[in-house]
Amino acid sequence: MALTPIPEVLEALKAGRIVLVADDEGRENEGDAIMAAEFATKESIAWIVKNSSGLICAPMSRDVADRLNLPIMVEHNQDTRKTAYTLTVDAAHGVTTGISASDRALTLNVLANPLSVSHDLIRPGHILPLRAVDGGVLERPGHTEAAVDLLRMAGLSPVGVIAEIVDEDGDMMRMPGLEKLADKENMPLTTVAALINYLEAHPLPARIEGEMDKDRVVFEVETNVPTENGTFRMRGYRDRTTGTDHVAIVAGNPGGEDVLVRVHSECLTGEALHSLKCECGPQLDEALRMIEADPNGGVVLYMRGQEGRGIGLVNKFKAYQLQEQGLDTLDANLALGLPADARDYTAAARMLSDMGIRSVRLLSNNPEKQRQLEKYGIRINGLVPLIVGLGEFNTGYLNVKRDRMGHQLPGILPAIEPAVAAKEVTA
């Protein structure tokens, strides 16, 4: 049986059909059923369960996994193929046990919906999402990447359904069996190698960071608010992905180029409770003072929902508890099964774009923040140091940020008072 041409495979996927994709004999040497998650139904999932091992995975692009807050399952992946498993999920609403064909189809539909957010899912569940690498099959020739590449080529949501096809005796079905099954079911059959050859001749457009997030935020309102640091224009935005409200705090009338900008993550403990374990409160105060003093004005983006570098308030307290037992801020996160930094800067970049800001001087010690904003089209003309709030309770924390997380901080961090540090920075 001849392989199905890739254009015909794409048409089948667009029609909501299942296709069969085999990989290299030297790799896993097995075939997967693949379809678009947005078209999953009770009937299609029942067929896949009947003809597979029963483990249904949902390969997806990194953008989607980040939007749905699906981090990798383990920090140190010991799988020989380095498959990027995440936490398992079910749909948060409309399912019963989560394991039936109809329940799993609904969960897959939710995963593929571009309007779905993290709280539309519960963890753990009965669908296993997989993170595809950005370079697709040209970088990693696996079924995860094959599914996402095919769906992107078909113009569909980059969330798929894959399951490994097995024989009646439960062994993996090889190419002769896959050919018979494809002929019996009138299903398209191709291989990862054929997809690679096709992409080498017909490359996908360059991946655009945040391609599904161009409308990530919606501007809602602008008003003036007097503060101890001056009167600022407050521009309220709603994050369509998370449902969170963010604020752009604007001083003066900054233009489109070379604007002084601080992207500041919400920190209840540091700002409202004046915690000495971090420097967030002094950083916010100093950033507001600096944009007010700048002759061209500036902007502080106050990003809500990013407590504890994005892990949330309660998890931050859990990390604090582990720090009391001797772990540092990074290892505490990892010990909890959480990323060192879970923040997403897509909304921040979209807020700047909405205000017509194209290039910035970034008030930050964090080069990763610069890289993240640049991914979404914001040009960074340099980092402006923001070294304030040092004290006996956070010097170790800041040393870890410098030594293990790449923050641009001095080699020696003495315990000094915030007011003194501010004078030193601005002198």
Give the per-residue SS3 of the chain: CCCCCHHHHHHHHHCCCCEEEECCCCCCCCEEEEEEHHHCCHHHHHHHHHHECCCCEEEECHHHHHHCCCCECCCCCCCCCCCCEECCEEECCCCCCCCCHHHHHHHHHHHHCCCCCHHHEEEEEEEEEEECCCCHHHCCCCHHHHHHHHHHHCCCCCEEEEEEEECCCCCECCHHHHHHHHHHHCCCEEEHHHHHHHHHHCCCCCCCCCCCCCCCEEEEEEEEEEECCEEEEEEEEEECCCCCEEEEEEECCCCCCCEEEEEEECCHHHHCCCCCCCCHHHHHHHHHHHHHHCCCCEEEEEECCCHHHHCCHHHHHHHHHHHHCCCCHHHHHHHCCCCCCCCCCHHHHHHHHHCCCCEEEEECCCHHHHHHHHHCCCEEEEEECCCCCCCCCCHHHHHHHHHHHCCCCCCCCCCCCHHHHHHHHHC
pLDDT tens track for 228-282: 989 999 999 988 777 789 999 999 999 889 999 999 999 999 899 998 988 889 9
- pLDDT value at residue 89: 97
pLDDT tens track for 115-125: 788 889 999 99
- pLDDT value at residue 277: 84
More confident residue, 287 or 279: 287
Q: How far apart are CA 255 and CA 297, in angstroms?
A: 9
* pLDDT over threshold 50, residue 206: yes
pLDDT tens track for 374-408: 888 899 999 998 888 677 776 766 676 777 766 76
Q: Name the β-bridge partners of 227.
A: 230
- pLDDT value at residue 420: 39
Of 106-115, 146-155, 417-426, least confident by mean pLDDT is: 417-426
Equal fold, 6-201 vs 217-306+343-426: no
- pLDDT value at residue 416: 42
- pLDDT value at residue 79: 73
* pLDDT over threshold 80, residue 412: no
Convert 162-188 to b/e letters by CB count within 10 Å (16 or more is b).
bbbbbeeeeeebeeebbbebbeeeebb
- pLDDT value at residue 422: 36
* pLDDT over threshold 50, residue 352: yes
Q: Name the β-bridge partners of 225.
A: 232
Percent of the chain with pLDDT over 70: 89
Residue among 309, 343, 350, 361 flagged as catalytic: 343
* pLDDT over threshold 50, residue 167: yes
Q: What is the mean pLDDT of residues 139-163?
A: 95
217-306+343-426 has which CATH code?
A: 3.40.50.10990
* pLDDT over threshold 90, residue 181: yes
Residue among 103, 213, 341, 344 flagged as catalytic: 341
- pLDDT value at residue 214: 65
Whether 341 is catalytic is: yes
- pLDDT value at residue 160: 98
Token reading at 203: 């490359």
More confident residue, 146 or 277: 146
Q: What is the mean pLDDT of residues 150-176?
A: 93
Q: How far apart are CA 100 and CA 98, in angstroms?
A: 6
Q: How far apart are CA 232 and CA 349, in angstroms?
A: 20
- pLDDT value at residue 27: 54
- pLDDT value at residue 426: 35
Asked if 370 contacts 378 with a C-beta cutoff of 8 angstroms, the reply is no
Angle between helices 6-14 and 192-201 (to 10 degrees): 100
- Report the topology of domain 6-201: DHBP synthase (3.90.870)
Mean confidence (pLDDT) of the chain: 87
Of 89-98, 258-267, 390-399, 416-425, least confident by mean pLDDT is: 416-425
* pLDDT over threshold 70, residue 414: no
Whether 403 is catalytic is: no
* Confidence class for position 166, pLDDT limits 50, 70, 90: very high
- pLDDT value at residue 212: 46
Q: Which of 346, 383, 336, 345 is nearest to 362 (CA)?
A: 383
| Every domain of the chain and the residues it spans | 6-201, 217-306+343-426
Q: What is the mean pLDDT of residues 327-346?
A: 83
Of 103-112, 162-171, 241-250, least confident by mean pLDDT is: 241-250
* pLDDT over threshold 70, residue 419: no
